[in-house]
Structure 1
């Protein structure tokens, strides 16, 4: 028995350590990246682009996830301290407030892809919908609609007795047992991961088709502005595609593990099995935050326009870095 307890303690310690480790990785670089995103997307060269407005709105929600959700999860999952398990109001509001903004962020990314589809259309009436006015309306609709679609969480989330990773019976904040718990897991999986991902990939393919059609209809090369517009369009599409892949990789495994644990909830499990399932669940839960913390590094890696704006910001606010960079460049030329 003592060896079993030791094994359970080791697994749970690994689970807590994994939560803290992955959360810190998401928090520190993620916060730096989100701040840079907010600055870059308000730069004059990008401020007038509707696609940039979508990215800016999504980044604001990512900031909420990094500053609010991740620290709370570090405390609750890493150190097993969660007020939501003891207060029904906190229980309902915490889970509702943590699920909704993350879904809104993913759907706004979808809107950015739809904007690229409209912008690249050969139909002038479609192209007119690619505007800042349309972007503001779309963001407003999603911001209102998504909380309404998740309002069932406020109604059906409750506190009941369940088993912690050590096998002890404790109060747990979760969806009501039975049908609703399975429904909630599937609902969030489709609304947060599958649906926006599928639609983004669909509109991404349609955008590629529009670009090819445009090249066939319009004679090649109409000047530098045309080449620049095509290059920007291609970069934004590439960024969106990679971001969608990251969202899928980061979010889908967690939903699948939650669904498995839910449908096997009535099966009797020993303490070691419960601890193992908790380790897997908490690990995948922590990886979901990469969907919200990796944007800046993705944009910098894949977008030359974005990268140039980042360099301008750094050289303006950190002139010492700029001088040192020039000195290194001159030294390399002399050698």
Structure 2
């Protein structure tokens, strides 16, 4: 009797914590995520980043993150105060699942493309460097978007609302659909992209160090020639110098983002694997713990959708912060002009 009472108390406690997180934590993530991604979109659309292939990947990834937060967190916030509409309206359940799974996949795979792009650009092989182009980045983006939509098209058929005997009322209606969804999300959306980011991130760092050693070696052989070449590329071509600074800033932003993506997305992947291999017959206490762990790790994942702007601001160097400053100055000038027009009327 005492054991049953303790289990009920634990279940009630976990439900209370989950509801509180949906009410307050989700709102905080929603606000800073929406604001951050919108600022990212405005900044990365400016002229200094417009022709950069890595910045293009960051831009589209920010759009995907914004959509994921809007579709995924709004219903979570509602569930903290009222009944979640996805739990009893079938078409909302299906669309939310498809959009959230798809945009999360797009966002992470575009960071993979950005990592590969930095690896190509940092290579001492001229043929590889020539492949780092905006056109190639746009082609890869198109392919990723199409494949991501097709990968999770199953959600439109598998997901149902008003499910019984399950902690999530909006979920896959069959065990086969649930296993396929959890496995594809954990492996294709999270683990494989994180692995590729890590590999190409390390390769990029090795390329940079190799280039530095090569430049040092050339400097020792012919200091005068290097000085002339340096002045020709930096002193007489300020645009090339700015472009090189942007490349270095984007590389730094990318490496920090890869590290934080791994920290914030892996918990949900581990939770999916745990739920995947735990079987179907679950006790009430297990269902409560499973839902609680899913709720917390899913909120942590949404943090990864909302932090890119703050990473770029802190690690993007002078180039990104100047672009952000220029954006605010432009908005300020428009507001002043608008107020002047109103006063004239």
Do the aligned residues in 2 keep the contact of 1:19 with 1:283 (CA within 8 Å)? Answer: no
Match of 2:336 in 1: none
Pair 1:97-2:99 in alignment = yes
Unaligned stretches of 5+ in structure 1? Answer: 165-170, 320-335
Deviant stretches of 4+, over 6 Å: none
- Return the alpha-carbon distance in structure 1 between the equivalents of residues 122 and 268 of structure 2: 35
> What is the CA deviation profile of residues 173-223 of structure 1, one whole-angstrom value per residue up to 9, with x for unaligned ones?
322443442232121011221111111111112222222333344545624
Unaligned stretches of 5+ in structure 2? Answer: 220-225, 334-345
Do the aligned residues in 1 keep the contact of 2:72 with 2:96 (CA within 8 Å)? Answer: no
- Return the alpha-carbon distance in structure 1 between the equivalents of residues 177 and 70 of structure 2: 30
- Return the alpha-carbon distance in structure 1 between the equivalents of residues 27 and 87 of structure 2: 24
Q: Secondary structure at the match of 2:131?
A: coil
Match of 1:248 in 2: 262
Q: TM-score, normalised by structure 1?
A: 0.83
- Return the alpha-carbon distance in structure 1 between the equivalents of residues 254 and 195 of structure 2: 12
Do the aligned residues in 1 keep the contact of 2:98 with 2:152 (CA within 8 Å)? Answer: yes
- Return the alpha-carbon distance in structure 2 between the equivalents of residues 122 and 3 of structure 1: 64
- Return the alpha-carbon distance in structure 2 between the equivalents of residues 181 and 46 of structure 1: 41
- Return the alpha-carbon distance in structure 2 between the equivalents of residues 134 and 262 of structure 1: 37
What is the Cα deviation at residue 38 of structure 1? 1.3
**Cα root mean square deviation, aligned:** 2.6
- Return the alpha-carbon distance in structure 2 between the equivalents of residues 84 and 237 of structure 1: 40
How many residue pairs get matched? 311
Pair 1:300-2:313 in alignment = yes
What is the Cα deviation at residue 67 of structure 1? 2.5
Pair 1:214-2:211 in alignment = yes
What is the Cα deviation at residue 7 of structure 1? 4.8
> What is the CA deviation profile of residues 81-116 of structure 1, one whole-angstrom value per residue up to 9, with x for unaligned ones?
234333444333321121001110111111111111
Do the aligned residues in 1 keep the contact of 2:264 with 2:301 (CA within 8 Å)? Answer: yes
Match of 1:323 in 2: none
Match of 1:156 in 2: 158
Do the aligned residues in 1 keep the contact of 2:186 with 2:272 (CA within 8 Å)? Answer: no
- Return the alpha-carbon distance in structure 2 between the equivalents of residues 105 and 252 of structure 1: 15
- Return the alpha-carbon distance in structure 1 between the equivalents of residues 292 and 90 of structure 2: 26
- Return the alpha-carbon distance in structure 2 between the equivalents of residues 211 and 254 of structure 1: 33
What is the Cα deviation at residue 269 of structure 1? 1.6
- Return the alpha-carbon distance in structure 1 between the equivalents of residues 88 and 73 of structure 2: 20
Do the aligned residues in 2 keep the contact of 1:54 with 1:108 (CA within 8 Å)? Answer: yes
CA 1:155/1:64 → structure 2, altered by over 3 Å: closer, same or farther?
Answer: same
Aligned counterpart in structure 2 of residue 200 of structure 1, from 177, 181, 197: 197
1:44-193 residue pairs with structure 2 within 5 A? 44-76=47-79, 78-79=80-81, 81-158=83-160, 160-164=163-167, 172-193=169-190
Do the aligned residues in 2 keep the contact of 1:182 with 1:259 (CA within 8 Å)? Answer: no
What is the Cα deviation at residue 302 of structure 1? 0.5
Do the aligned residues in 2 keep the contact of 1:204 with 1:237 (CA within 8 Å)? Answer: no
Match of 1:325 in 2: none
- Return the alpha-carbon distance in structure 1 between the equivalents of residues 267 and 38 of structure 2: 28
Q: TM-score, normalised by structure 2?
A: 0.80
Aligned counterpart in structure 1 of residue 326 of structure 2, from 293, 312, 315: 312
Which has more helix, going by share of residues?
2
What is the Cα deviation at residue 152 of structure 1? 2.8
